[in-house]
Amino acid sequence: MTGNPEERTEQEQRAAEAVRGLEPVRPDPAFRKRLGQAFASGSIAAPAPATVIPLRRSRRSMWIAAAAAVLIFAFFLRPDRVPPTYLVMGGHAVGTAVVDGKTVPLADLRETGVPGGTRITVLDGALELRWDDLLAARVHPGQVTVPDPRQPGAMVWDLAQGEVLVQTGPGFPGRRLRVRTPEGIAEVVGTSFAVYRDDGATCVCVLEGQASVGVNAADLESIPPGRRKVMHADGSPSEILDIMPAHRDGLMEFVDRAKAGLAR
Amino acid sequence: MEPVEPPRSDENRRALLEGVRRHDPASLEAFFEEHVDGIYDLAYRLLGEPAPAEDAAQEVFLRVHRAAASLDPDRDPGPWLRKVTRNVCRDVWRSPAYRFAQRSVPLDPDPPQARVLAASPENPEEIAVTGERAQMVQAAIGRLPEELREVVVLHDYSGLRHNEIAEIVDASHAAVRKRYSRAIARLADMLKGVLE
């Protein structure tokens, strides 16, 4: 029982040989390419935060998170920096939002776009965003932090309140996308889904493809198209139900529009 | 952590590292190409899943980018990169998110072995048997405590000597030898029946 091969037991020798015999594991080519570009261009950033969400945050961590958000926002708004942005789709940019503490008509965002990493509170109306051929999203009244898709690793949407609808596009395969709310997480392997969050619960509706949904990593389960999972803030058991027909019709209207936009 | 390309001459390596120190994009790209597979591979063996290994590789290259100006062009960056990779993985192990995930189901719907089988139509049976055994070995490595896991991976998988591992894990040579002995004994015990 030692590092010296001559003193190892036969079983230990076999175990060492088995480890030596493992084949090298290569990274996913799409991830490798994105990381290489980010490293060479200097735009590399820290990986997206891990998927586990503390259900109750301390006041101190809230302040730290708020300060971090302000710093990120300030970084993106530096005058010498022209950030890549989400394109704001004209037809649905109606209503008002709070961006960087200022209330702005959503239509004004059509000029500037929305940089990745921005936290937006949509007060009324709907904000429709698209990033190249990667994904389209519609944010209904509520608060969401949009991720920067240029960064490798998982794209994490933080939904504090309200509803976000997501449609992935032809550039999506090979990426990972998560939506987090205080009650749970949805990890998408499919194409179209919606997450709604209010004070009492989070509901994830899957329209096409599949999504792994759960209150935490241990609770993740695959939700097929046409179904929704409702997770409650009070800790009562989650439910899996059919999507309500009226809601599905509204979601499908977004899906059709988003697909057309992503295919251009 | 074997480089994909043939080893560079000292002069070429010096020129490359000088470029990396200046944040020259072409040099950064060449440096990335030379080291990314090894870094990801080591992170995967230490963490056992593709997603955290990707995050770890990203964090390693972020740290490299930040520290590029202090790179010594006269030294092989390999040992330093291994140390950074191990330190990043250690930070992951200590994170509550990782510890929680270890008690939960994997998120990857398409495990590495399925991808290998899908990409290799010839001899699927042999690949399946070999792959199954490899998965069992990896799973057993993953069940080792972190301080034992890193020693067995660095010694038997990466082929480092105990004194080299001691530098990476900030421990004495004797401590590394002891940890390795415990690690390989536990691994042998876990793999009893699998390797016969």
Q: Distance between CA atoms of A34 and A119, rounded to whole angstroms?
A: 24
Contact B127, A239 (CB under 8 A): no
Q: Do B185 and A12 touch (CB under 8 A)?
A: yes
Above pLDDT 70, what percent of chain A?
Answer: 80
From the list B45, B59, B104, the residue facing A46 with the nearest CB is B59
Average pLDDT of chain B to the nearest whole number: 82
Which among B36, B104, B107 is the nearest to A35, CB-wise? B36
Q: Which pLDDT score, from 0 to 100, does residue A194 have?
A: 87
Beta bridge partners of A137: A129, A166
Chain A hits for B66, Cβ within 8 Å: none
Least confident of A241-245, B100-104, B137-141, B183-187: B100-104
* pTM exceeds 0.80 for this model: no
Report the chain B residue with the minimal C-alpha distance to residue A33: B33
Is the pLDDT higher at A162 or at A261?
A162
Over residues B14-25, the pLDDT tens digits come to 999 999 999 999
Overall average pLDDT of the A42-53 stretch: 64
Q: Is the pLDDT of residue A199 over 70?
A: yes
Would you call A42 and B51 a contact, using CB atoms and an 8 Å cutoff?
no
Token pair of B147, please? 């301080």
- Whether A243 has a pLDDT exceeding 70, the answer reads yes
Q: How far is A13 from chain B (nearest CA, A)?
A: 8
Contacts of A47 in chain B (CB under 8 A): 54-56, 58-59
Q: Which of B29, B176, B180 sits opposite A40 (nearest CB)?
A: B29
Which residue of A10, A33, A35 to mutate against B (max B Cβ within 10 Å)?
Answer: A35
First CA to last CA across chain B, in angstroms?
29
Q: Cα separation of B50 and B115, whole Å?
A: 12
Chain B residues touching A27 at Cβ < 8 A = 36-37, 40, 50, 53-54, 57
pLDDT(A190) > 70:
no
CB contact under 8 A, A42 and B65: yes
Which residues of chain B does A5 touch, with a Cβ-Cβ cutoff of 8 Å?
Answer: none
Torsion A82-A88-A94-A98 (CA) sign: negative
Nearest CA in chain A to B58: A47
Distance (Å, whole) CA B70 – CA A93? 48
CB B184 within 8 A of CB B152: yes
Q: Is the interface score ipTM higher than 0.85? A: no
Using the structure block, give the residue that is written with the tokens 């493809």. Answer: A209
